[in-house]
Chains A and B, each alone.
Chain A
Amino acid sequence: MADGSMPTKTVEAPVPPQQLDVPLDSPAIRRLIEEVRAEIVDVPRSYNRTFNRHNR
């Protein structure tokens, strides 16, 4: 098995929330807000279980 044979970096603890530089113009969040608003008025979602399924 390959387990343990490669060098890896230990994950550091995340930055405490109070020190987080919150991006006020995040494209990812803006997109999600628009998608949620669209769902409210029954506009088809950008992806769904029936047509965009991955593994599980």
Chain B
Amino acid sequence: MHVDTVLLKVASRCNLDCSYCYVYHMGDESWRTLPKRLAAGTQALVAAELGALMRAQGRPFSIVLHGGEPLLLGLPRIKSLLTALRGALGETCGISIQTNGVLISDAILDLCVEYDVTLSVSLDGPPPVHDRFRVDLRQRSTHAKVVAGLQRLQAHPAAERLFSGLLCVVDPTSDPEAVYDYFKCLAVPSVDFLYRDGNHSVLPFGKASANSHEYGAWMCRILDRYVADPAPFRSRLLDDMMRLLLGGAGVKEGIGLTDYGILVIDTDGAVKKNDTLKSSPLGDGFDATWALGCNTLADIAASPEFRAYHLAQRPSSPTCLACPQLKVCGGGMVTHRFKDGAGYDNPTVFCADQKLLIARMETLLAPYLKDRAA
């Protein structure tokens, strides 16, 4: 296996208090004891280890500065971190920042240009949709501040290079056409839709049961808007699923059967599993306690326990293995497969949603597939 994505937690705290966040509101309390920010000494260690990992595996990976809110690291420390990362990795690795957008400043944007870093901004839709869940620490709305940051980003002379797109967490009770049209008005390059976290024992918000398809119905209406749009933004979830139906490959975790290699480094330098596993009771920790300075990333990535974590992404449920849609669905994200007493050996809790969405895609693509076959 190889690592293709490193989620580098540079701040363990956030300036927002989104009620659905898997870091703070789904049972994991580890953030309370982590360093608030990635310390200078840890930065240097992380950069050196990532450089060694890239050389050991012979291929680059993507680095995402993540949190909490990564911009809480502050401009000077972000600059020193990017200097260290580029010094160790050169220009071959993509570096991006996943931010809530509130702290975007011209100085941050200029720094990102200098170090060839892209930004993705979390925005869930128009004010009533976004502010329902994405509130600040005093439970106040944040939409206006996020859009101000977004507009600063879009007004930057290097916006086309800097701005990779939006991340939108789906509210299945919202109006999907209104959400789509709102993003169109913002003229964003892409929107990646994410389902709310949950599992068979704690259902995601808005799902009446594991067999209901509220998210699938919502996404079908987004899909209809998308394929009818004369100038659509990109949508990674929809693109990946339709590309797989067309015989191509996907790149999104939890879609298709391509393996992904995600490694997470916390602000204390500890190596963790995919952080979304915080939303299930088994959590995101390894049995082994690994820390940079004591273990090399290359050794950790080559260890049996890390390999077992890597292989666990492959769907194992008999229901999935017998499903004709598996090559597109991929069994979903591991954290969404959890069920009390059965662990992760289940279909995703969004199984019915994905079946509905795939069926809709097959209908839409049928004329094209027929055209290609002719």
Chain A residues proximal to chain B, CB less than 8 Å: 1-3, 5-15, 17, 20, 22-24, 26-29, 32-33, 35-36, 39, 45, 47-56
The contact string, 1 if C-beta is below 8 Å from chain A, for chain B 334-374, is 00000000000000000000001001100111111000100
Assess whether A11 is in contact with B19, with CB atoms less than 8 Å apart: no
| Bound Cα distance from A8 to B247, whole angstroms | 38
Q: Is B280 an interface residue when CB atoms closer than 8 A count as contact?
A: no
* Interface members, chain B 150-200 (any A CB < 8 Å): 164-165, 167, 171-176, 178, 192, 194
| Across-interface contacts of A27 in B (CB, < 8 A) | 229-232
Contact A20 B251 (CB under 8 A): no
Taking a contact as CB atoms under 8 Å apart, the answer to whether B367 and A24 are in contact is yes
Known interface pairs A26-B227, A49-B251, A50-B94; A55-B232 also in contact (CB < 8 Å): no
Q: Is the CB of B227 within 8 A of A29?
A: yes
Tell me the bound Cα distance from A6 to B141 in angstroms.
11
Residue with the greatest number of chain A CB neighbours at <10 A, chosen from B133, B227, B243, B366: B227
Neighbour of B364 across the interface among A11, A22, A54, CB < 8 A: A22
Residues of B within 8 A of A48 (CB): 251
Q: Pull 23 A–B residue pairs with CB atoms less than 8 Å apart, ordered by A.
A: A1-B19, A1-B135, A2-B132, A8-B174, A8-B175, A11-B173, A14-B360, A17-B363, A22-B366, A24-B367, A28-B229, A29-B365, A32-B242, A32-B248, A36-B248, A49-B260, A50-B61, A52-B62, A53-B62, A54-B96, A55-B64, A55-B194, A56-B7
Are the CB atoms of A14 and B221 closer together than 8 Å? yes
Closest to A4 in B: B132
Name the interface residues of B223-251: CB closer than 8 Å to any CB of A: 224, 226-232, 234-236, 238-239, 242-243, 246-249, 251
Known: A2-B132, A33-B372. 14 other contacts (CB 8 A): A2-B19, A2-B139, A8-B128, A13-B217, A22-B364, A28-B232, A29-B368, A32-B248, A49-B260, A51-B94, A53-B62, A54-B165, A55-B66, A55-B194
Minimum CB–CB distance from A15 to chain B (whole Å) comes to: 7
A contact patch SS: loop
Dominant secondary structure at the B interface? mixed
Q: Does A55 lie within 8 Å of B243, measured CB to CB?
A: no
Which residues of A lie under 8 Å from residue B366 when comparing CB positions? 22
The reply to whether B248 and A39 form a contact with Cβ atoms under 8 Å apart is: yes
Query: Would you call A10 and B236 a contact (CB within 8 A)?
Result: no
Whether B64 lies near A50 (C-beta < 8 A) is no
Contact surface of B with A, Cβ cutoff 8 Å: 4-5, 7, 19, 60-62, 64, 66, 93-94, 96, 98, 118, 120, 122, 128-129, 131-133, 135, 139, 164-165, 167, 171-176, 178, 192, 194, 214, 217-218, 220-221, 224, 226-232, 234-236, 238-239, 242-243, 246-249, 251, 253, 260, 262, 274-276, 333, 356, 359-360, 363-368, 372
- In the bound complex, do residue B132 and residue A6 qualify as a contact, i.e. CB atoms below 8 Å apart? yes
B226 close to A28 (CB less than 8 A): yes
On chain A, the residues within 8 Å of B129 by CB distance are 6, 8
Q: Which of A5, A20, A28, A52 has the most CB of B within 10 A?
A: A28
Q: How far is the CA of A10 from the CA of B249 in the complex (A)?
A: 34
On whether A5 and B132 interact (CB within 8 A), knowing A36-B248, A56-B262, the answer reads yes
Q: A53-B5, A55-B66 are in contact. Are A20 and B274 (CB under 8 A)?
A: no
Across the A-B interface, the 5 shortest Cβ-Cβ residue pairs: A36-B248, A53-B62, A51-B94, A14-B220, A17-B363
A36 to chain B, nearest CB (A): 4
Closest residue on chain B to residue A50 by CB atoms:
B62
Q: How far is the CA of A51 from the CA of B89 in the complex (A)?
A: 13
Residues of B within 8 A of A6 (CB): 128-129, 131-132
